């Protein structure tokens, strides 16, 4: 028996040792949560990036070589992410796309930077990620401060005076809530409620009852779509008609399914424009291809932003005529201007942040469609 146990260890050792092999392709890494709580985002990211790579390869790839996507699972947690990042660096990837979640991305930043590999994050909006001076870190996602500003502006424009803010204690939602709270208070609005719910539960009536007691004109919920769906549904069940405004993490096609059409109607949220609202022929064509292949819409904008990350990387390699990390990063910083991405024009500033106003206001209509507000 004991020999068997040690044999198992030996097999394990060999298995880990059997790692990289060289091939004449350009490898691009995708770090995404394939398991764990955010697996749906990760699987969406993988589908989009692989489809884009397939299309690029059909057009002859990049620099005359085929692109190979190497996906590693970060499990949605920082420790697994640091291992995933180490693994990608040893597989000889030219650049990495991903990942979802600021803390998860942060755990991998050092590793890619020290390995000289450019990283384009897709679902990581925490401000500090681009304030650390990494020269090869980019993101296609906007930053929390921009969204906070937009949220405060929108609330002012819609004329709400008494505001309740609800987050879910995640780094992202708390950051956005703090940002909006500070701006709203500065502009003299009355924030009557500020607290956090516990995500992944099913019953939020206790919280809604408490919220209702504070009697706000509007509720700003900065968390994610599963909780937003339940809040809307249970709010309607209570016959409480207060409007809700959400952040970009509620931009998910499942939101309306979860809440039901009636309950979701009238819900506002801020988000980068959705692919179907882009007028470029490019985005429309890709979306049609995606639907044909997977028979569904991409789960969220974050998966689409991973696609944009891939496109930017491919353009960077083609533009720099090299897979050298420094050259690709330099190209992305300086020469990639108004590149046509699925989510709109992409340019990166000196910090690696995406330039330009990205956020739009959406409202859910009676049919459960997300309607862009002008």
Partner 1 sequence: MKPRLKWLGAGAFVALMAVAPLFLNAYQVDVLNSIGLYALLGLSLNLILGEAGLFNMGHAAFYAMGAYTAAILNTRYQIPILWTLPLSGAVAGAFALAVARPVVHLRGDYLLIVTIGVGEIVRIALVNDVFGITGGANGIFGIARPRVFGYVIRRPDQFFYLIWGFVALTIFLFLRLRKSRFGRALNYLREDEVAAEGSGIDTAYYKLAAFGLGAAWAGMAGTLFAAKMTIISPESFSFWESVVLFMIVILGGAGSIAGVLLAAFLVVGLPELFRELSGARMLVFGLVMMVMMVVRPQGLLPARGHRFSWAGPQKGVER
Partner 2 sequence: MEEFFQQLTNGLAVGGIYALIALGYTMVYGVLKLINFAHGDLFTYGAYLGLTLLTSLALTDRLGFAAGVLVLALMVMGLVAVLGAILERAAYRPLRQSPRLSAVVSALGASIFLQNTLMLIYGARFQVYPDNILPAATLNVFGLYLPLMRVLIVLASVLMMVALYLFIQKTKIGTAIRAAAIDQDAARLMGIDVNRVIMLVFLVGPALGGIAGLMVGLYYGQINFTMGWVYGMKAFTAAILGGIGNIPGAMVGGLLLGVVEALGAAYISIAWKDAIAFCVLILILIVRPTGLLGERVADKV
> Under 8 Å CB-to-CB from 212, ≥6 apart: which residues?
238, 240, 242
Question: Which CB sits closer to partner 1, 43 or 340?
Answer: 43
Question: Which CB sits closer to partner 1, 99 or 274?
Answer: 99
Residue 77 binds what, of partner 2, partner 1, none (CB under 5 to 8 Å, by partner type)?
partner 1
Question: Which CB sits closer to partner 1, 89 or 252?
Answer: 89
Residue 90 binds what, of partner 2, partner 1, none (CB under 5 to 8 Å, by partner type)?
partner 1
Copy the structure tokens of residue 240. 């409480």
Question: Which CB sits closer to partner 2, 226 or 325?
Answer: 226
Coil, helix or strand at residue 30: strand
Residue 341 binds what, of partner 1, partner 2, none (CB under 5 to 8 Å, by partner type)?
none
> Under 8 Å CB-to-CB from 17, ≥6 apart: which residues?
none
Element (H, E) at 67: strand 67-73
What minimum distance in Å lies between the beta carbon of 61 and partner 2? Answer: 30
What minimum distance in Å lies between the beta carbon of 70 and partner 2? Answer: 21
Residue 266 binds what, of partner 1, partner 2, none (CB under 5 to 8 Å, by partner type)?
none
123 strand-pairing partners: 100
Per CB under 8 A, residues contacting partner 1 are: 1-2, 5, 8-9, 12, 15-17, 19-20, 34-35, 39, 43, 71-73, 77-79, 82-83, 86-87, 89-90, 103, 106-107, 110, 114-115, 126, 128, 169-171, 174-175, 196
> Is residue 71 left, alpha or beta, with left meaning phi > 0 and alpha meaning psi from -120 to 50?
beta
Residue 159 binds what, of partner 2, partner 1, none (CB under 5 to 8 Å, by partner type)?
none
Coil, helix or strand at residue 355: coil
The alpha helices in the chain, defined as continuous H runs, are 2-17, 39-58, 78-90, 102-115, 144-157, 171-186, 205-214, 225-237, 254-259, 261-264, 281-294, 301-320, 325-334
What minimum distance in Å lies between the beta carbon of 233 and partner 2? Answer: 6
Coil, helix or strand at residue 191: strand
Residue 372 binds what, of partner 2, partner 1, none (CB under 5 to 8 Å, by partner type)?
none
Cis preceding-peptide flag for 99 (omega within 30 of 0): yes
User: Which DSSP letter does residue 142 get?
Assistant: -
Copy the structure tokens of residue 279. 């007028």
Question: Which CB sits closer to partner 1, 39 or 156?
Answer: 39
Per CB under 8 A, residues contacting partner 2 are: 35, 37, 39-40, 42-43, 169, 195-198, 200-203, 205-207, 209-210, 213, 226, 229-230, 233, 237-239, 254, 257-258, 260, 299
Question: Which CB sits closer to partner 2, 90 or 198?
Answer: 198
Is there a contact between 166 and 193 (Cβ–Cβ < 8 Å)? yes
Residue 217 binds what, of partner 2, partner 1, none (CB under 5 to 8 Å, by partner type)?
none
Question: Which CB sits closer to partner 2, 198 or 276?
Answer: 198
């Amino acid at each position: 028996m004991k020999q068997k146990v040690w044999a198992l260890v030996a097999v394990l050792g060999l298995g880990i040792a059997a790692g990289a092999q060289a091939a004449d392709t350009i490898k691009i890494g995708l770090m995404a949560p394939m398991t764990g709580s955010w697996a749906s985002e990760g699987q969406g990211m993988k589908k989009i990036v692989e489809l884009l790579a397939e299309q690029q390869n059909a057009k002859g790839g990049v620099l005359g070589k085929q692109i190979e996507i190497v996906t590693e699972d970060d499990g949605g947690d920082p420790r697994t992410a640091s291992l995933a990042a180490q693994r990608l660096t040893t597989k000889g990837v030219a650049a990495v796309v991903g990942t979802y979640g600021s803390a998860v991305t942060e755990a991998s930043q050092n590793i890619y930077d020290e390995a000289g590999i450019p990283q384009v994050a897709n679902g990581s909006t925490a401000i500090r990620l681009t304030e650390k001076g990494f020269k090869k870190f980019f993101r296609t996602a906007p930053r929390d401060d921009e969204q906070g500003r937009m949220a405060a502006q929108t609330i002012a424009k819609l004329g709400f005076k008494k505001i309740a803010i609800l987050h879910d204690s995640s780094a992202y939602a708390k950051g956005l809530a703090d940002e909006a709270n500070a701006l709203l208070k500065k502009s003299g609005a009355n924030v009557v409620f500020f607290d956090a719910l516990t995500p992944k539960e099913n019953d939020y009536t206790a919280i809604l009852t408490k919220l209702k007691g504070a009697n706000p004109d509007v509720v700003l919920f900065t968390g994610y779509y599963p909780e937003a769906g339940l809040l809307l549904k249970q709010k309607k069940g209570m016959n409480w008609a207060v409007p809700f405004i959400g952040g970009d993490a509620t931009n998910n096609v499942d939101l309306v399914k979860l809440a039901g059409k009636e309950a979701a109607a009238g819900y506002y949220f801020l988000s980068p424009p959705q692919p179907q609202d882009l007028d470029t022929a490019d985005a429309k064509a890709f979306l049609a291809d995606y639907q044909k292949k997977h028979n569904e819409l991409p789960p969220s904008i974050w998966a689409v932003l991973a696609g944009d990350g891939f496109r930017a990387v491919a353009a960077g390699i083609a533009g720099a005529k090299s897979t050298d990390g420094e050259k690709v990063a330099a190209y992305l910083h300086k020469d990639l201007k108004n590149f046509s991405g699925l989510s709109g024009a992409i340019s990166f500033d000196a910090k690696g942040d995406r330039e330009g106003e990205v956020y739009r206001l959406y409202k859910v209509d009676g049919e459960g469609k997300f309607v862009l507000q002008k």
